[in-house]
Structure 1
Amino acid sequence: MPAGRRYQPLPATLLAAAVVLTIAGLAWRPATLGAGALTWVAGALLLGRLGRRYRAVVLALLAAGTAGVVVGLLFGVRPDWRLALAGNQPLISMLAAVTFVRLVAPRGGPDHAAPTGRAAVWQTTAAVHAFGSVINVTALDIVARRVFRALPLARPELMVLSRGYSAGAFWSPFWGASAAVLTYAPAARLPVLMLIGAGLAATGLAISGLQITRAFGPDVEKFRGFPVTRDALRLPVALMAAVLGLHLLLPGVPVTGIIMCCAPAITIAILLRRHPRRTAARLAGHTRRSLPAMSGELAMFLSAGLLTAGFKAVVEVTGLGPPITQFGVLTAWLLMLLMVALSAVGVHPVITIAVAASALAPLHPDPTLFAMAGLVAWGVQAAGGPLSGLNVVLQARFGVDTFTIARWNFTYVLAIIALAYPALWACAQIA
């Protein structure tokens, strides 16, 4: 096993402690700074797990952020140390907390209940979407293990996974996309984002269902899909209900904080009911295995926080303002296009969201409209970006080149980009 992939208990322990401190930070804010410090140490220890190219990108971002901070200090501008140390800590801790849901992830119904034919295409795509919106990338493995037998996956099979999963970014509060936009636009209205995003996701899934069915051709009647049961849907529905209910009851608590509490709590409750004697061991094993596996997201989100702090310092030194005077629907749509274009060359959406939030701050843009643009951009790049995290995962697990996946999703991406404008317009009207 390569050195960077060996079992690393210290980073796992640090990240678990950071989650606990971030939850404590909901009541006592300084605890979040302690969580940020622990996460930075864990990130440094896990740097060796990153691939060479990814590590080079992260180091370049860290260098740029550090340079910006130094420029600020040289010109008497005090950098935002809280942003640099723990600006993205709620996002990181939320994603770490959500990983625990994998321990109780639904596995679908019995094989004899599996749907066939055209209905199976629609149901399987919907299953990937429903499970992926809550348990994230684990949903791909759960569905693929039950449905697809041979590698590499054929075009329609890959489209089921890619399209069904990526649409979750448009609305799900359990995605990093939602956590990122709510971090940089905390006043954004989550119910509006979920309503408009769910409508966009439903439309995208409808387009995908038609295209995937057509891509299967005559073989569609032989397709056996994922058997979804009410029991399988119980977990995602319970989590969504808990988060939305608590958000309405406790509007002052950030959504990321609510999810940080709900995801592990519901997981532990289910484990205690199913395997009371093994609960502690399973939680410990998950912490050791899965938290260090977040090294990629960890490095990117930490570097994004430092880069944003450096960017803010440089803007304050130079006095540069945004090149526009107002932020409306058209501006939001163009910003979304810019984010998608930058992601195509490897710039992670969290970077563009963070920098855009800082650059546009003098305009006081509507936070919900800004957040919706970020969600759409994240979902589009996930499906259509040749360097997106989703497509890299699909290549590694299912044997299809990332550029091929992006090409297969090209017409879908164009459709979503076109639909994004009315979605943003509707968001502006409601917000």
Structure 2
Amino acid sequence: MTRSPWFRHLPAALLAIAIMLTIAGLVWRPAMLAAGVASWAAGILLLGRLSRRYRAIVILLAALGAIGIGIGLAHGVTPDWRLALAANQPMISMLAAISFVRLVAPRGRTGDHRAPTGRSAVWQTTMAVHVLGSVINLTALDIIANRIFRKIPLPRAELLVLSRGYSAGAFWSPFWGASAAALTYAPAARLPILMTVGGALALAALTISCLQITRAFGPAVKDFRGYPLTLGALRLPMALVILVVLAHVLLPGVPVTGVIMVCAPALTITLLLVRTPRRATRRLVAHARRSLPAMSGELSMFLSAGLLTAGFAAMLDVVPLDPPVTRFGVPEAWALVLVMVIFSAIGVHPVISLAVAASMLAPLHPDPTLFAMTGLIAWGIQAAGGPLSGLNVVLQSRFRVDTFRIARWNASYVLAILLLAYPTLWMVARWSCGC
């Protein structure tokens, strides 16, 4: 039976409504629950878009969460329905809102005579992937890959340009799902510290990557034509970062996810009205219909993670568990990074690890900035080195390179970042406590 047009577009409409309700929820809490209901409805309608394996994982997580809630109810424990329905709603709506920035992202022109070549091309292209990817997410891969790459499947060196440049954005960018998740489970974390120290880690990671990628090219590096890191490419990302930071300073009581939810669409709409005023509405609607349902993977994972967290919390009320450690300092934070990376290697999404860790460590009242930085580092490492990470699955589908091969190519990088993680966490701990 053919579905009517309104039904096909229903998930997109529900997600658009969820964004608006989440923004309203910043000042009127019940709207956040309504946004969660809208997202759950969209997620159920979009289950058919998921791969069979991914759908099985999502259903299993949701089922475990429902079982935990059921056990809690059987023992007289009232579940936290806000946690079950809308724990990750700010994260979902933030990512959906950011997707609209793609409409005004720089595209560049094929065959630009200013395209850099040689070693400079490796550095400029990797940095361009990082800067654009830190703000407009996976769209950056398409913009740059369509411009400079012609051979499919991509050779090792060229694929590493995309993988390494993009994944380092998790260490600092407030526009990544990593940051949204970290701030969801550690809302008191200090964003300036996360961005500054995480940015330093990202710079170190990009330096290591560019040196390794240049060696991977070998003598062929002199023939590599890359993407120019120009003012035009930097203008939009920098404008959005500055806008968000200023809004966060002026409105410290508003969560960063909420600030981004407002700033990203506002900047997009403003630029559309300036550039193509007659087509602005049509382009916004077309983007919502096309791109919001494409978030089905992230949507379903974050929804199931919230339900799992609620179920786990209910279980802890029935059978209290002592935290596995007695304090959460730098050594424990580094160990948690290692555990999350190991779990990601077997397919456990970092948002799940982060949610469970937050529940188990809650009695210790860990420093929120240190805990958030732990999540950002683990997320960035798994993005590059996890064989089942969202980034590597996208790279496999678009550039026909096996995800396990990508993970193997990034093994030395993963080890390097794990070593850098300890001093990074130490700096966060020192800065956060004012020591």
Report the TM-score range of the alignment, normalised by the length of the smaller protein. Answer: over 0.9
State the Cα distance separating 1:219 from its structure 2 match: 0.6
Aligned residue for 2:70?
70
Aligned residue for 1:210?
211
Maintained 8 Å contact 1:152/1:399: yes
Distance 1:386 1:321 in 2: 32
Matched, 1:408 2:429: no
Report the 3-state secondary structure (helix = DSSP H, G, I; strand = E; otherwise coil) of the residue aligned with 2:113.
helix
Aligned residue for 1:379?
380
Task: Please give the TM-score of this superposition, normalised by the length of structure 1.
Answer: 0.98
Matched, 1:106 2:93: no
Distance 2:209 2:324 in 1: 37
Distance 2:154 2:244 in 1: 35
Which runs of 5 or more structure 1 residues have no equivalent in the other structure? none
Report the 3-state secondary structure (helix = DSSP H, G, I; strand = E; otherwise coil) of the residue aligned with 1:113.
coil
Distance 1:241 1:92 in 2: 22
Distance 2:7 2:353 in 1: 33
Aligned residue for 2:258?
257
What letter matches 1:428 in structure 2? A
1:162-201 equivalences under 5 Å are 162-201=163-202
Distance 1:427 1:317 in 2: 35
1:120-269 equivalences under 5 Å are 120-269=121-270
Moved more, 229-238 or 14-23: 229-238
State the Cα distance separating 1:232 from its structure 2 match: 1.9
Which runs of 5 or more structure 2 residues have no equivalent in the other structure? none
Aligned residue for 1:307?
308
What letter matches 1:363 in structure 2? L
Report the 3-state secondary structure (helix = DSSP H, G, I; strand = E; otherwise coil) of the residue aligned with 2:398.
helix
Maintained 8 Å contact 2:128/2:233: no
Aligned residue for 1:355?
356
State the Cα distance separating 1:8 from its structure 2 match: 2.3
- What is the CA deviation profile of residues 268-306 of structure 1, one whole-angstrom value per residue up to 9, with x for unaligned ones? 111111110000000000000000010010000000000
Aligned residue for 1:392?
393
State the Cα distance separating 1:7 from its structure 2 match: 8.4
Task: Please give the TM-score of this superposition, normalised by the length of structure 2.
Answer: 0.97
State the Cα distance separating 1:245 from its structure 2 match: 0.5
What letter matches 1:58 in structure 2? V
State the Cα distance separating 1:228 from its structure 2 match: 2.6
State the Cα distance separating 1:324 from its structure 2 match: 1.2
Aligned residue for 1:83?
83
Maintained 8 Å contact 2:83/2:310: yes
Distance 1:205 1:277 in 2: 41
Distance 1:276 1:66 in 2: 47
What letter matches 1:290 in structure 2? S
- What is the CA deviation profile of residues 295-321 of structure 1, one whole-angstrom value per residue up to 9, with x for unaligned ones? 010000000000000001111111212
Aligned residue for 2:285?
284
Distance 1:113 1:265 in 2: 32
Maintained 8 Å contact 1:115/1:224: yes
Distance 1:295 1:319 in 2: 34
Moved more, 99-108 or 370-379: 99-108
Distance 1:321 1:107 in 2: 52
Aligned residue for 1:271?
272
- What is the CA deviation profile of residues 169-221 of structure 1, one whole-angstrom value per residue up to 9, with x for unaligned ones? 00000000000000000000000000111000000000001000001011101
Maintained 8 Å contact 2:127/2:229: no
Maintained 8 Å contact 2:36/2:86: yes
Maintained 8 Å contact 1:368/1:427: yes
Maintained 8 Å contact 2:129/2:162: yes
Maintained 8 Å contact 1:343/1:381: yes
Distance 2:9 2:165 in 1: 34
- What is the CA deviation profile of residues 353-411 of structure 1, one whole-angstrom value per residue up to 9, with x for unaligned ones? 01110110000000000000000000000000001000000000001000000011100
- What is the CA deviation profile of residues 146-191 of structure 1, one whole-angstrom value per residue up to 9, with x for unaligned ones? 1111100000000000000000000000000000000000000000
- Runs (4 or more) in structure 1 with deviation over 4 Å come to none
What letter matches 2:45 in structure 1? L
